[in-house]
Structure 1
Amino acid sequence: MTTGLQAAARRLALGVRTGGGRTGPAVVWLRVEAGATRITHPVGVEVDLDPDFFDAKSALVELLPVPRRGRPLIVELVVRECGRFELAFSAKLESESRVVLDEEFRLPGHPLPGMPLPEAAKHTAAPTDPAVLAEISALFHEFVERYEQIKGRPPALRPGYSEQEIAAAEAELGARLPEDLRALYRMTRDDAAETGLLGKFSPYPLDHVVEYHQPGSLGWNDGPFDDAVVFESDPPDTIKRLSRNDWWITFATDFAMNNLAVDLDPAERGRPGQVFEYGRDIHGPPDYYAESVADVLAGVVEALRDGDYEDDESDYLQTYAGFGGVGLDELVYHDFGNRDLAEIVDRAEETQLIHINDAVDLDLAALAPLRNLRELRINRAKLVTPTSSGLHALESLAIEAERIDVEALAGQPTLWDLKLAGAAERLDIAVLRTLPALTRLDLSAVELADITPIAELPQLRVLILNAAQWAALRRADLRPPNLAAVERTATCSLRETADWCEWLTGTPIQLGTTSGTTS
């Protein structure tokens, strides 16, 4: 008897073209998450999908279980040349090749929600500071006057909020906004017309501020497999070197996927209420923008006083107040060859991320003067001696080289992320026991002389190996004791992934399945 799920799977399989010179079955993976579906297939395997496939996909997904929040639904479809198909699915796996064992785990610099609120930001019923309110009021009204003089019409700014409305929004946020931002909201509810009140940014209405903050949603690359090094903002020690903070409050946008936030929990040299930018155009850490909201508004008004603006036919009045920093200091060297690493040292005193491609012989000891280098990626080298003990800030090191002197890694105190690839000889990884901070390790693209040291790394939380390496660990019954997330490279079936997960966790992983034929 044909079930509804089987019929939907058959319709999906009919949308996959088989034959055409392909050897072996066609494999398609679907990842359904937050209402969106991502379609992939194994690396190196070409799969042709007919337009009907996408309609069939939507119909199939409606019949499958809805995954719980924070967990995807993984679907695997295998279509053989004879027309036979098999469909498997699970809402208990991270992907077809990854397993998350501890959903609360975060890599260094990636805190979970629940951070303590600084004393100075605690919510109170006090009205806005009268002196700050007077300062912001004067700047706001000067902006309005100068705008009207230039444009011949007043700016389309709605009247502001009452103290009671601001206090109600703060109660939902769980914190008191900086006094100057409170004062700005007393003047206007938002700048939806993009008049230029805060330069290229426009304040959000308070209900949006509350909505976008719940539940501490501002964060970057917080997954265990993400590029997760958190770089230092400029100037140093102003913004905490974190991927997210409960007390970063987004309050303005440029309507082009960039935003401003006020920082209620600054670093040692920072100031409560300082402003930073983040979003589509900001690569790396948050970009320190201004000391305060008042400084941003004052900069706009000063630019208008000086005639430093452009006027067009829109509502926007473009000023040229100089805010924002220089962004992430990153260097990329192509075709490095036999060049001297001293060349990098001469240029890279403040650099935090360096890529070196196609080098011949590198001894990383030469980079020791780079006190701010946090991430180093070496691609397609001949020989690398990773003498990195002098790199006191280095957190992430990726080496792809024909020869890697692994012993030179010994004792690196800050290195928590390591990836080795490309070595022509088997590597002896016993030295990894000397890396006290090692948290994430990727050895999937090298051969190992002995797999057992991996099980002797108590700080290791994220491990990426190939299928043969995982099989060797399993044969030896060696499971690293504190793993939070794992990945197995190379193509594996969903059943194999579930079986691997069962071995790691001791918990059975049930797959939903159906099969049939397209004929």
Structure 2
Amino acid sequence: MADGSEQAIRVGLHEAGELYELSGASADRLTVELTVEASGRFEAVLSQAITRKTYPEQGQLLCVLRPDHLPVQPGAEQDGPADPTPAGDLEDAVRLFRQYVRKRAEIRGEEESLPPPLDAAERAALLADFRSELPPDLVALYGEADGDDIGLFHGHPWFGLESTTTHIHHHHEWKWTDDPLWSMADEAEPPGTTRRWISSLNWIPFATSTGGDYLAVDMDPGPTGRPGQVIRVGRNYGRPVYVADSVTTMLRRHVAALDRGDYWEEDGYLDVDVDIPSYLDDDSETFWRGAGPIPKKPHGIHTLVVDEARSLDLEPVRGAPHLRTVMLFGEGPVDLRPLLDIPLEALRLHLDAVDLHQLAGHPTLRVVQLATRQPVDLSVLRTFPRLEGLELSDAALQNVGTIAELSGLLSLTLSYEQWQELDTMPRLAAAGLAGDATLSQVNEWATRFEPDQPPGGQLPCGYAYFEGRLRSRD
């Protein structure tokens, strides 16, 4: 506004769409950034590749330069299961299923109606055409019934065989806007049961919560898992949650719960009380946050967050086998050397001063975020063989030119002023711009990148920039 204040207004963007068509870019996904001054001067950036990030980095702009060039997920580097045979037993599964259905009928006073199984030829054809496999115990259950709409398994309605084998009920195609380097730093629980994927087509949902979450069989487990183990996946689960080593074991628990009387029945509805891990469970065993001191036995912790860090002693974490994410906030100082002895992948340091040389040569560190008052010497970054992501917009920096030498770097976030200090641009897959940059500065920043295949034809970073002055209607 004329007095320098800001005001949100409604703006029709039909004309903006026409402008974007003139740029030659596709309008499949369009981000519009528009600034209008009281004088009538305006700037606009329209882009497919540039998006504005939301929580927790509100206000940052992300330019995706190479959308298909993503970091390798840890699951691809894990060994397969030590025991590659399914833990379930098809004969036991059928016997337990029949017991379970019979006991439910005895409690309710009547049998529940289940869809009859498809004939053997139909089942064989669906399984033959299936892109993956199902464990033998689950296949055997489809010879008893073609799913259910009751919620036999942990209250989850069971998909029919055609639905299980022909529909992809849950799979997230991850991308740079998902913060992959931070997202994939999580660890399975128990460690090693499931591979460390963000999502996998080998997690095959067979039952649904009806709210976007699923029971699935994992056909490509981690080193301590078994093919056909049951996991929970879905919109509420950032990582899969281990339920049982097999469908057979899951059924055995349901039968045992009925035998113990762990259920309640009302108006024909039977709820069987079988423990199942949930995203609502207390995660204090794997996630620790506090002002210190750090627990003396952090060996089960996957993520450590310390607030108000002052002269923090990190020695207790030395050797913690599953600690992959560390976040430290406060004044410091902090001796970081104990972190050399953990499989650290993601590090966030918001401290007055940071000495990264204490971590020289760290073999697993993949992403670093810094916010500091005193300058940080970046020359040590050359010694991190796995480094793929840097977020430095709130840090004071020395030797910024080191960044251009990091051949493995995929993602970089800086302030506008920091980007100006880089004479040579690293070959990135994603670039972030933090701070209150004007749209003309956004334009200047974006023109520095050369993606493999600009989404907008000849436009760098897949965007178009417009400036001008609005004409008065008077």
In the superposition, the TM-score normalised over structure 1's length comes to 0.75
Could you say what secondary structure the match of 1:89 adopts? strand
2:390 maps to amino acid: L
Task: Give the number of aligned pairs.
Answer: 443
For residues 8-67 of structure 1, give each alpha carbon's deviation from its aligned partner in whole angstroms, at most 9, with x where no partner exists: xxxxxxxxxx56x543xxxxxxxxxxxxxxxxxxxxxx54345xx5xx468976996698
Letter of the 1:433 counterpart: R
Offset of 1:444 from its aligned partner?
1.0
- State the partner residue of 1:479: 425
Which residue of 174, 194, 202 corresponds with 2:157? 202
- 1:137-286 to structure 2, matched below 5 A, reads 137-194=94-151, 197-210=152-165, 212-213=167-168, 217-218=171-172, 223=177, 225-226=179-180, 227-282=182-237, 285-286=239-240
Aligned to 1:42: none
Query: 2:50 pairs with 93, 103, 117, which one?
Result: 93
Q: Once structures 1 and 2 are overlaid, which stretch shifts more, 445-454 or 350-359?
A: 445-454
Cα RMSD (Å): 3.4
- Aligned residues of 2:294 and 2:314 also touching (Cα < 8 A): no
Report the more deviating stretch, 285-294 or 90-99.
90-99
The Cα offsets for residues 74-117 of structure 1, whole Å up to 9 and x where unpaired, read as 112222224555544223434582222222222342679xxx9x
CA 251–22 in structure 1, closer or farther in 2 if over 3 Å, else same: farther
Alignment of 1:465-476 (within 5 A): 465-473=414-422, 476=423
The residue type equivalent to 2:459 in the other structure is: P
AA matched with 2:331: A
Partner of 2:378: 429
**Partner residue of 1:309 out of 242, 250, 263:** 263
Distance 2:440 2:164 in 1: 44
For residues 392 and 468 of structure 1, the distance between their equivalents in structure 2, rounded to whole angstroms, comes to 34
Say if 2:49 and 2:64, in contact at 8 Å, map to a contact too. no
Residue of structure 2 in register with 1:461 after alignment: 410
- Correspondence 1:67-86 to 2 at 5 A: 72-83=29-40, 85-86=42-43
Amino acid corresponding to residue 508 of structure 1 in structure 2: L
**1:492 equivalenced with 2:416 (yes/no):** no
SS in 2 for 1:76: strand
How far, CA to CA, are the matches of 1:395 and 1:409 in structure 2? 12
* 2:67 is aligned with 1:103: yes
| Mean CA deviation greater in 488-497 or 428-437 | 488-497
Residue pairs, 1:301-380, within 5 angstroms:
301-313=255-267, 315=269, 317-324=270-277, 328=283, 329-334=285-290, 336=291, 343-380=293-330
Q: Deviations over 1:239-277 (max 9, x none)?
A: 112222231111111223321111111122221111111
CA distance in 2, matches of 1:436, 1:465: 21
Question: Match of 1:182, as an amino acid?
Answer: V
Answer whether contact 2:297 2:316 (CA < 8 A) is retained.
Answer: no
Q: How far has the Cα of 1:498 moved from its partner?
A: 4.5
> Which amino acid is 2:135 matched to?
P
> Aligned AA for 1:163?
A
- Unmatched 5+ residue regions in structure 1? 1-17, 24-45, 122-128
Cα distance in structure 1, aligned partners of 2:148 and 2:398: 63
- Secondary structure at the counterpart of residue 377 of structure 2: coil
Cα distance, 1:408–1:212 mapped onto 2, change above 3 Å:
farther
Specify which of 299, 313, 337 is matched with residue 387 of structure 1.
Answer: 337
Bigger relative CO (Cα 8 Å, ≥ 6 apart)? 2
Amino acid at match of 1:292: S
SS in 2 for 1:503: coil
CA distance in 1, matches of 2:357, 2:192: 34
Contact 2:286–2:300 (CA under 8 A) maintained in structure 1? no
Query: SS of 1:213's equivalent?
Result: coil
Q: In the superposition, relative to structure 1, how do residues 224 and 319 fare at CA in structure 2: closer, same or farther (>3 Å)?
A: closer
Instruction: Give the Cα–Cα distance (whole angstroms) in 1 for the partners of residues 202 and 383 of structure 2.
Output: 37
Inter-partner Cα distance in structure 1 for 2:149 and 2:31: 40
Cα deviation code 1:125-154 (max 9, x no counterpart): xxxx9x82x544433333332222222332
Residues 372 and 86 from structure 1, CA distance in 2 versus in 1: closer, same or farther, beyond 3 angstroms? Answer: closer
Among all aligned residue pairs of Structure 1 and Structure 2, give the percentage whose two residues are the same amino acid.
28
CA change 1:154–1:280 in 2 (3 A) is same
Aligned to 2:56: none
Matching residue's letter, 1:147: R
